[in-house]
């Protein structure tokens, strides 16, 4: 496959209203391959939860996402869709700030969901993503 066959498109989503945060309503991919990155939580390299602090947990989950992407020679710039699961609504302001730090332009499609709980009791966040690479 030629890199010229690879394209990421973010078409205008007329009729949907403006996004409520910094994300794209639609992201399309032509050519290349799609990576599915399983949920990353707020754990260190020894699989221990890093903190009870919301911002610290989100930052660690995104650090782990960055590491997972790098294994496939990808980075945040390749992410086209990100899903974040939180156990409390208080995570949302931190998530908006950290997401904007990681994706300052070419916004991903994004979903944030408040859930009753996650697989690990002391996790307050889990983040999964889809990336497109040539």
| Domain extent listing, the chain | 35-133
Choice between 108 and 60, residue whose per-residue pLDDT is larger: 60
For 15-29, the pLDDT digits (tens) are: 666 665 666 666 778
E-strand ranges in 5-124 read 7-9, 28-30, 33-40, 79-86, 109-114
Separation CA 50–CA 104 (nearest Å): 26
Name the pLDDT band for 7 (thresholds 50, 70, 90): confident
Domain 35-133 has CATH 3.30.1330.40: yes
For 33-52, the pLDDT digits (tens) are: 899 899 999 999 999 999 99
Separation CA 108–CA 82 (nearest Å): 7
Query: Mind spelling out the 3-state secondary structure of 27-49?
Result: CEEECCEEEEEEEECCECCCCCE
């Amino acid at each position: 496959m030629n890199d010229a066959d690879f394209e990421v498109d973010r078409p205008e989503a007329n009729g949907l209203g403006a996004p409520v945060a910094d994300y794209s309503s639609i992201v399309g991919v032509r050519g290349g391959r799609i990576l599915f990155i399983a949920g990353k939580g707020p754990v260190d390299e020894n699989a221990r939860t890093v903190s009870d602090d919301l911002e610290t947990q989100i930052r660690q989950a995104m650090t782990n996402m960055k590491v997972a992407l790098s294994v496939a020679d990808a980075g945040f710039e390749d992410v086209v869709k990100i899903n974040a699961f939180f156990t409390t609504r208080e995570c949302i302001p931190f998530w908006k700030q950290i997401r904007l730090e990681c994706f300052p332009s070419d916004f991903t499609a994004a979903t944030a969901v408040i859930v009753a709980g996650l697989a690990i009791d002391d996790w307050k966040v889990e983040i999964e993503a889809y990336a497109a690479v040539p």
